[in-house]
Structure 1
Amino acid sequence: MAADALDRAMGALIGGALGDALGMPTQLLSPARIAELYGHVEDFVAPVADHPVSKGLPAGAITDDTEQALLLGRILISSGERFDHARWVNALLGWERDVKARGSYDLLGPSTKRAIDAINSGVPAEEAGRTGDTNGAAMRIAPVGIMIPPEPLGALVAKVAETCRATHNTSIAIASAAAVAAAVSSGVGGSDWRVASERAIAAARLGAMIGHWVTGGDIAARIAWAQELVRGKSEREAIRLIVDLIGTGVASQESVPAAFAVLEVAEGDAWRAAVISANLGGDTDTIGAIAAGMAGAWAGLSQLPQDRIASLKGIDLAEVRALAGDLVSARTGKAGSGKEAAA
């Protein structure tokens, strides 16, 4: 059981990295521009020389999506039961300094940057994230799903909300991150992608009741609608529907339902989810990281394409395995505590 959970935990993290890296050269571009520059993206490619964000990165390079997810995982482990907001904020600032030194243009997202500027100006962490409604929380939330069992669902959503507080303390962002975390948690627990999608919708409903309310479409309703919209459609038609109707921007109510729609079209296949995401246009790396990460949690590392994993750049598989092991150990302890409490 522990070995299976570790395989699925690795599947979530490495699946996310595959989706991130495949979408790296296509992010911020339109579907037409992607086709013009790269054709139909089906494998890792290097970004064009004048790419606004990814220029200079090699084919197969991960971006902020994967790096911040791994960073959050390490903070979760070091924090213990009470999430350390100060350590988390300082880690994000350190991460941005590091990527700037590396010459990267893929920096902190708008909500995270705004919140950290506020914290540095003296605003309490509990208030700094009150306007954070973009997808930064959802893109890096997979470690919470690995560490926290899916039941009781309220406990999982509470931990998601705790990690969102400093940067994305809004109903939309928490609902979005809760949906992704619940899907990952269900997958690590052995559920298939359909069951996990249902649990994600339930988690989104709970998450929407937490944090500062901001206007926008209901995340749970939009996930269910997005999956129904593309169900049974061809891949080409589904991509058109996702782009035209769901949206692929950084807004949580676009990119997170889009990721669940991709999952539906891919029928839970992580690499196919990554490929579909990379060709959507917009926030392709984040949609790919979320969709392929959720799919990877259900498939496990052993079912992911090993040749593509070997081609990833900027990620240490041994470090990821160690982190996944720590997260699974923490999950096992929480599950055991829950059983003892129930008894």
Structure 2
Amino acid sequence: MSGSPDPSPAEPGQTVTWLRPEQADAPRSLRDRACGALLGLAVGDALGAPAENMTPSQIRERWGRIEDFVSAEPAGTDDTEYAIFSGLLLAEHGSRLTVSHVEKAWHTWIADIDEGPFRGAGFSERGTLENLRRGLAAPISAQHRHAWSDGLAMRAAPFGVFATGRPAEAARLVAIDGTVSHEGEGIYGGQAVAAGVAAAMVGDSPDAVVQAALSVVPEDSWTARSLHRAVSAARRASQSPDASTASVEQAVRKAVVIGGYPWTDLAPEAVGLAFGAFVAARGDFRASVLSAVNMGRDADTTAAVAGSLAGALGGASGIPAHWAQAIGPVRGSCLPSMAGRRILDLADRLVPHHDHSKAAS
């Protein structure tokens, strides 16, 4: 794996320095950051799951402000299970990953197994499965009504871990994975998250993480515009003399949420909310994830993305211990073939000291 950084353009007046993996600071080793990114995804997913598809007012009415798990048995959803699925595939093939590998894995692990309706799966996953089961192949398999969903963004963190310090490579690989299930803005959302995690794995600045995400998506895309709006709103609101957590979250939501639209899994919206929460919290894990949760909408995915970014930036040591300890093996409620697997088992298989192209599945 090359240690060369990706030269990515900075915004006017900004200087962004990419670090090589070996330059990462000692207190947060690459393994700690890898564990943080993956565990952070699962923690955010479990924290946000009960608030999925809710508005902030509905959340307040039911729980007040969510500050901890509100479920007696917190567990991840399809976000964590699909992240494990994609992580295993990446660990097996590494940088040699092809669309054919991904399509074959979807058939072997998911589509060709008679496991019922895949409870909890997102619309993009269901549409993809229907197309694959009808005999359609990639990229035609991604042509369904929700190809712009956040289903790729939710499983993108492993690509950032694998391509540590190389946002462009993380974006390239996650697009290969996404070709089976997503198009357009759905791909861009996954690329933004993967690139952001790749930068967070070796950096200390939330602003550099944002710039990495913006560097891999078209400037005129909905994803880029949503990211810009969310991050700008978070910065402005945070600097206000009377700023409060609630007012910052309200500003971020107002900047990107498509009011009145019946579905909450829009990739540009979810990614914008996640990055907005991350920036408002200056990368602090607890604050990032809880802001994403309390903003509602597709709360499990936005919190999973915010958790993967903040977890990569601060390492697993920055995740509250009781949250980390609550994450056990996934239940397979959406992907029965993933039941019993632990997301942290991927960390050693994805960090750069392994020869990923020869890793066993």
- TM-score > 0.5 by shorter chain: yes
Distance 1:330 1:178, change over 3 A: farther
CA distance in structure 2 between the aligned counterparts of 1:270 and 1:129, rounded to whole angstroms: 33
Q: Aligned residue for 1:301? A: 316
Q: Aligned residue for 1:337? A: none
Q: Aligned residue for 2:195? A: 182
Matched, 1:161 2:184: no
Shift, 1:156, TM fit: 2.8
Query: Comparing 155-164 with 282-291, which one deviates more in the overlay?
Result: 155-164
Candidates 146, 161, 169, aligned match of 2:161 = 146
Segments of structure 2 that go 5 or more residues without pairing to the other structure are 1-21, 259-263, 332-339
Shift, 1:333, TM fit: 6.7
Q: Aligned residue for 1:211? A: none
Q: What's the C-alpha RMSD, in Å, of the aligned pairs? A: 2.7
CA distance in structure 2 between the aligned counterparts of 1:319 and 1:36, rounded to whole angstroms: 34
Matched, 1:218 2:222: yes
After TM superposition, the runs of 4+ consecutive aligned structure 1 residues lying more than 6 A away are 330-334
Distance 1:82 1:312, change over 3 A: closer
CA distance in structure 1 between the aligned counterparts of 2:252 and 2:329, rounded to whole angstroms: 30
Segments of structure 1 that go 5 or more residues without pairing to the other structure are 47-57, 209-216, 335-343
Candidates 57, 60, 66, aligned match of 2:80 = 66
Note if contact 1:141-1:180 (Cα within 8 Å) is conserved in structure 2. yes
Q: Aligned residue for 2:255? A: 245
What pairs up with 1:30-45 in 2 under 5 angstroms? 30-45=55-70
Matched, 1:193 2:193: no
The alignment covers a number of residue pairs equal to 307
Distance 1:95 1:33, change over 3 A: farther
Q: TM-score, normalised by structure 1?
A: 0.81
Distance 1:223 1:309, change over 3 A: same
Matched, 1:265 2:265: no
CA distance in structure 1 between the aligned counterparts of 2:329 and 2:112, rounded to whole angstroms: 17
1:40-86 residue CA offsets vs partner (Å, 9 max, x unmatched)? 1101012xxxxxxxxxxx44211111111111101111234133123
Matched, 1:228 2:232: yes
Q: Aligned residue for 2:102? A: 85
CA distance in structure 2 between the aligned counterparts of 1:222 and 1:128, rounded to whole angstroms: 27
Identity of aligned residues (%): 27
Note if contact 1:147-1:331 (Cα within 8 Å) is conserved in structure 2. no
The residue type equivalent to 1:266 in the other structure is A
Q: Which has the higher helix share?
A: 1
Distance 1:99 1:305, change over 3 A: farther
Shift, 1:314, TM fit: 4.2
CA distance in structure 1 between the aligned counterparts of 2:137 and 2:195, rounded to whole angstroms: 28
